[in-house]
């Protein structure tokens, strides 16, 4: 929530920009919990009202805000060029920054917080729940994101969150939490600890493939949920990827896998009844089809081969993170009851088990859709 003094800050930020004619109003916008997001409505002398999205970046979540904005500017500039060369509409198919009065790409307020203003993408919706058709549409959008950025020098990007998907580092932090056992909870979660320990080697699969040059370093979004794709109201296709704050160097299988973790099941993340938590192989198939359609052959054979690993590793990593936080005292993930992180951990581990039981089928689906029988 905004504190009273933020009204002064907001006025300061708005004054840093030139708006067309009359600024009619400013309202909070969206369902995000990290950044401060507002929709600004302006009325020119002629024509329809014009909308903008103003975002103040969270200093707690993103302490290196200038580096984050360097990533944002570099990636969106690259996307605009690619979209233009393909005959698309860069004003609808990527985010576009509005410069400040003095020509800067963003504004830093009196407290040191960074704000950015982007054009509102009209005639689109941002949805929270996916039908199978929308899940596949989001897959095409994220696959196309990989296609358009395949030649971007990923190594030049900053890491807004260091080691975000370094599964070895996540496992090391988990081991430290087990060893410290700050709240004496380890004795009550022996089954969950054992589950993670039995998959220790799995946590090195992707990072080893990157070290050995099997998997290429890519630009990755790292939050590939449906609500980070703007859906065109007319076609119900994903046309613009938003929330680029966690864009950084990574592996394409991470973006693929996190979507599967989040979308290829029908349960709540903290579902207590694990019989209701099931990996949906048909949704996996639909997402795989959409992702590869969007990527249009830009993924290497090794990336295709490792797609099932992306799904398993992102789910395993998430479960390990929930378990680590539970052992540490629930400092990272917000909880609404004492065992919520443990419940979250258990749902992720159930999905991992389901994926392991469907392992051969997952690989066959990738082979069938990609047409690469040699994988």
pLDDT at 52: 97
Question: pLDDT category, 5, cuts 50, 70, 90?
Answer: very low
State phi, psi for 180 to the nearest 5 degrees: -70, -40
CATH of domain 6-120: 3.30.200.20
Of 58-62, 271-275, 321-325, 356-360, minimum mean pLDDT range: 58-62
- Name the packing angle between helices 167-180 and 190-197 (round to 10°): 150
Question: What does the DSSP 8-state code read for residue 226?
Answer: G
3-class SS of residue 257: helix
C-alpha–C-alpha distance, residues 315 and 351, integer Å: 7
pLDDT tens figures, 318-337: 999 999 999 999 999 989 99
Residue 250 has pLDDT above 90, yes or no: yes
pLDDT at 2: 43
Q: DSSP secondary structure string, 7-59? A: HHHHHHHHHTS--SSEEEEEEE-SS-SSSEEEEEEEE-SSSS-EEEEEEEPPT
Question: What does the DSSP 8-state code read for residue 236?
Answer: -
pLDDT at 292: 98
Place of tokens 């998907």: 165
304-319 in b/e burial notation, b at 16+ Cβ within 10 A? Answer: bbbbbbbbbbbbbbbb
Question: What is each CA distance from 77 to 72, 90, 205, 234, 264, in whole angstroms?
Answer: 8, 10, 33, 26, 32
Look up the pTM and report it: 0.94
Domain boundaries defined on the chain: 6-120, 132-370
pLDDT at 4: 39
pLDDT at 46: 85
pLDDT tens figures, 161-187: 899 999 999 999 999 999 999 999 999
Q: Does domain 132-370 fall into CATH 3.90.1200.10?
A: yes
């Amino acid at each position: 929530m905004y504190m009273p003094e933020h009204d002064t800050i907001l006025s300061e930020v708005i004054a840093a920009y030139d708006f067309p004619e009359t600024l009619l109003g400013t309202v909070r916008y969206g369902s995000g919990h990290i950044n401060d997001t507002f929709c600004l409505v302006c009325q020119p002398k002629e024509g329809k009202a014009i909308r903008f999205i103003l975002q103040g970046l969270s200093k707690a979540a993103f302490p290196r805000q200038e580096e984050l904005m360097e990533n944002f500017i570099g990636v969106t500039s690259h996307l605009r060029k690619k979209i233009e060369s393909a005959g698309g509409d860069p004003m609808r198919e990527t985010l576009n920054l509005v410069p400040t009065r003095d020509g800067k790409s963003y504004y830093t307020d009196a407290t040191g917080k960074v704000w950015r203003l982007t054009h509102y993408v009209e005639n689109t919706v941002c949805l929270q729940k996916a039908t199978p058709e929308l899940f596949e549409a989001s897959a095409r959008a994220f696959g196309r994101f990989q296609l358009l950025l395949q030649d971007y020098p990923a190594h030049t990007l900053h890491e807004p969150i260091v080691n975000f998907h370094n599964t070895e580092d996540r496992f090391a932090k988990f081991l430290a939490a087990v060893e410290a056992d700050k709240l004496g909870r380890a004795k009550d979660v022996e089954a969950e600890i054992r589950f993670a320990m039995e998959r220790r080697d799995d946590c090195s699969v992707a990072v080893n493939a990157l070290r050995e040059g099997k998997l290429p370093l890519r630009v990755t979004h790292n939050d590939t949920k449906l609500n980070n794709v703007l859906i065109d109201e007319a076609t119900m296709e994903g046309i613009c990827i938003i929330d680029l704050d966690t864009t950084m160097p990574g592996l394409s299988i991470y973006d693929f896998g996190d979507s599967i973790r989040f979308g290829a099941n029908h349960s709540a993340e903290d579902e207590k009844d694990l019989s209701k938590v099931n990996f949906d192989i048909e949704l996996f198939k639909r997402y795989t089809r959409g992702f590869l359609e969007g990527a249009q052959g830009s993924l290497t054979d090794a990336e295709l081969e490792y797609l099932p690993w992306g799904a398993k590793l992102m789910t395993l990593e998430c479960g390990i993170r929930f378990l680590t936080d539970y052992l540490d005292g629930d400092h990272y993930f917000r909880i609404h009851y004492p065992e919520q992180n443990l419940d979250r951990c258990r749902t992720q581990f159930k999905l991992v088990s389901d994926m392991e039981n469907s392992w051969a089928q997952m690989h066959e689906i990738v082979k069938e859709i990609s047409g690469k029988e040699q994988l």
